[in-house]
Structure 1
Amino acid sequence: MKLVAMRYFDDIQPGDRASFGGYAVTREEVLEFARKYDPQPFHLSDEAAAKTHFGRLAASGWHTNAMTMAMLVAHYEANPIASLGAAGIDELRWLKPVYPGDVLRCETEVLEARASQSRPDMGIVRSRLTTFNQNDEPVLTFIANALIARRTAA
């Protein structure tokens, strides 16, 4: 097992990039998520989905967000970061449907890193996150506003 140093706000620069993930989307998970959180017909039924622009059963966009978050957390577990949570996301876009059988992956790029004016123990990192399918087509994008501890305050 390799030891990876904790990344703090002080270690993060605009332009930093990361690629990670590999999430296989299953029919069972699409149906389970939809039944519980987004029970629209095109997320629950092949027949209903066939009558829409999706053409077939499609994952909820919120499910795509959840799968993206699972990949992000796994990335942070393998590459520890001094995360203090997030202040939200901006510009969320679902670009293409996600279907059972797709395999998702993520890329991030740091857009901005600035020290907090009100909390000197943390910084705010704005990153663009894009989720791609197995054909390297973007399916989701958003800008995350992450709160990261500063090493100087740790």
Structure 2
Amino acid sequence: MAGKWFDELQVGDTFDHPIRRTVTETDNVLFTTMTHNPAQLHLDEEYCREHTEFGTRIVNSCFTLSLMVGISVAETTLGTAVANLGWDEVRFPKPVFHGDTLRVETEVIALRESRSRPDQGIVTFEHRAFNQKDELVAVCKRSGLQRKKPV
């Protein structure tokens, strides 16, 4: 399904995205090393076993954020986005572990016509990611510049 045009969206629209994703050790290690993040929380199992409350490595939160937003694209912004304008209020209330399966839902929380671009508008989405236990593991607000339906 293609993304939505700005003028097809209404505040309160909610999308339960059909893609779910099981996070693997490879996802975590590759993302963490590709971004030059040396945090032991993501890379050192022995350290985590001995020195953290989790007892094991946790998934890099930047990967979780990227996955959450990425899963949302097909139903929200695919082919209709001009630009991502920013992320606000990014939170990770519970950690993600290797083997967790995430699902994502998105809600339109604000819409505003662009003052300088009459064929575009600014949409604010709230993305929420849940693990297989239905625990909220990530949430963020994302603002983007979205095209209006061509006339």
User: What TM-score, normalized by structure 2, do the two folds share?
Assistant: 0.88
Stretches of structure 2 lacking an aligned partner (at least 5 in a row): none
Identify the residue that residue 41 of structure 1 maps to in structure 2.
40
Could you say what secondary structure the match of 2:133 adopts? coil
Q: CA deviation at 1:55?
A: 2.1
**C-alpha displacement at 1:105, in angstroms?**
0.9
| Match status 1:73 vs 2:73 | yes
Equivalent in 12, 16, 20 of residue 13 of structure 2:
16
Instruction: Report how many aligned residue pairs link the two structures.
Output: 148
For structure 1, which runs of at least 5 residues remain unmatched after alignment? none
Three-state SS of the structure 1 residue aligned to 2:65 is helix
Structure-2 separation of matches of 1:137 and 1:67: 16
Change (3 A) 1:80 1:69: closer
Partner of 2:142: 144
Q: What is the CA RMSD across the aligned residues, in angstroms?
A: 1.9
Report what 2:83 is aligned to: 85
Per-residue deviation, residues 43-90 of structure 1 (Å, max 9, x unmatched): 0011111211332111110111122233123445xx855111211011
d(CA) in 1 for partners of 2:97, 2:129: 14
Q: Deviations over 1:7-34 (max 9, x none)?
A: 3111100000001120110112211222
Q: Any idea what SS the aligned residue of 2:127 has?
A: strand
Q: 1:54 to 1:112 in 2, by over 3 A?
A: same
Q: Which amino acid aligns with 1:138?
A: L
TM-score by length of 1: 0.87
- Structure 2: how far apart are the matches of 1:36 and 1:80? 26
Identity of aligned residues (%): 34
The residue correspondences of 1:26-65 to structure 2 (distance < 5 A) are: 26-37=24-35, 38-50=37-49, 51-65=51-65
Q: CA deviation at 1:112?
A: 1.0
Moved over 6 A (4+): none
Alignment equivalent of 1:122, drawn from 120, 136, 141: 120
